[in-house]
Amino acid sequence: MTVELDWENLGFAYRKLPFRYISYYKDGQWDEGDLTEDSKLHISESSPALHYGQQGFEGLKAYRTKDGSVQLFRPDMNAERLQRTADRLLMPQVPTDKFIEACKQVVKANDDFVPPYGTGATLYLRPLLIGVGDIIGVHPAEEYIFTVFAMPVGNYFKGGLAPTNFLIQDKYDRAAPQGTGAAKVGGNYASSLLPGNYAKDKGFSDVIYLDPATHTKIEEVGSANFFGITADNEFITPYSPSILPSITKYSLLYLAENRFNMKAIEGEVRLDELDKFVEAGACGTAAVISPIGGVQHGDDFHVFYSETEVGPVTRKLYNELTGIQFGDIEAPEGWIVKVD
């Protein structure tokens, strides 16, 4: 029995659900892992995750389909990205099977909280890998915790599919050119808190960061990747070693090329060439596709398509992506993993 919640107005907020998965790594191996009702982590005060940021996380969603079943969207991609994050921070990898099995267990155990089909809401899963134990020098931990918890969510940005405005940031970077920008680690988000709060106080949805070396190219949004659509039917999204390789972005590159006959390009998005974009958006698991109305850069305010209406190509891509995620449109091979 699904619980009764205001499914259409959930926003993006933590909610403590009955069950989460937890697994411990000790003496060079992962234990079996299990579901638990305990939502608190019991870790050493000296855990490297707390002091030196030795941790990484993921974000993916479970979708209720029309027939009432539940499915995950490309969880193998999240597992592989967490493995790359683990490699970068000298943490043990969580095998793909273990990762997907953990996600499935959490979805099944909290089935009452998987939002009903048609509400647009989803169950957001947050896998987390942290280094723990009694270590105070700057060393990798010897023990780790892998946990997956979940909560029902709606829109990440207030507008949903209505465009909102973003602030291009010159003063702060979220990551260094050869730093940890491509890994999903808390440190990248810690550095984004101050500029993010400033932008939100000024009424923007989020910050758009520039390439940290030259500040001449758009890199990504604080919580999502950036894409632009040109009048020549090109889908362009930045390529850089310091942005998070977004699974949504790679899915859109594929769909743009293979289903809409667009030219899909990972390349440069120069600040002095914004005029070539007739539409732009932010894409990510939480953000889904959030149209960007305008961007503020210094005194300049640049509108892409419209500050109030979503552009036709952005809408088309949104319908295709979410249609696949909710099981209404046939998915490319291997993109959907059924939970039941």
**Chain positions contacting ligand PLP, by CB under 6 A:** 59, 220, 223-225, 244, 246-249, 284-285
Geometric angle at alpha carbon 100, from 97 and 101, rounded to 5°: 80
**Catalytic status, residue 316:** no
Q: Does residue 285 bind ligand COI (CB under 6 A)?
A: yes
Cβ 224 to ligand PLP shortest distance, Å = 5
What b-and-e string marks burial along 9-27, b requiring 16 or more CB atoms within 10 Å of the CB?
ebeeeeeebebbbbbbbee
Residue 247 or 313 having the CB closest to ligand PLP: 247
Q: If contact means CB under 5 to 8 A according to the sort of partner, which of ligand COI, ligand PLP, none does residue 173 touch?
A: none
Which residue in the list 184, 200, 276, 338 is annotated as catalytic?
Answer: 184
Binding characters for ligand COI, 214-243, by CB under 6 A (x = yes): ---------x--------------------
Q: If contact means CB under 5 to 8 A according to the sort of partner, which of ligand PLP, ligand COI, none does residue 246 touch?
A: ligand PLP
* Helices vs. strands in the chain: H and E counts, helices first: 6, 18
180: tokens are: 């940890």
Q: If contact means CB under 5 to 8 A according to the sort of partner, which of ligand COI, ligand PLP, none does residue 244 touch?
A: ligand PLP
Q: If contact means CB under 5 to 8 A according to the sort of partner, which of ligand PLP, ligand COI, none does residue 325 touch?
A: none
Positions in 50-69 near ligand COI (CB under 6 A)? 59
Q: Could you tell me the sign of the dihedral formed by the alpha carbons of 312, 314, 320, 323, in that order?
A: negative
Which single residue brings its beta carbon nearest to ligand COI? 59
Residue 244 or 295 having the CB closest to ligand PLP: 244
Q: If contact means CB under 5 to 8 A according to the sort of partner, which of ligand PLP, ligand COI, none does residue 247 touch?
A: ligand PLP
Geometric angle at alpha carbon 73, from 69 and 76, rounded to 5°: 120
Cβ 290 to ligand COI shortest distance, Å = 11
Closest CA to 94 of 152, 22, 3, 42: 22
Cβ 142 to ligand COI shortest distance, Å = 27
Geometric angle at alpha carbon 322, from 114 and 294, rounded to 5°: 115
Which single residue brings its beta carbon nearest to ligand PLP? 284
SS3 readout for 85-132: HHHHCCCCCCCHHHHHHHHHHHHHHCHHHCCCCCCCCEEEEEEEEEEE
Q: Which residues bind ligand COI (CB under 6 A)?
A: 59, 223, 284-286
Catalytic residue ranges: 184
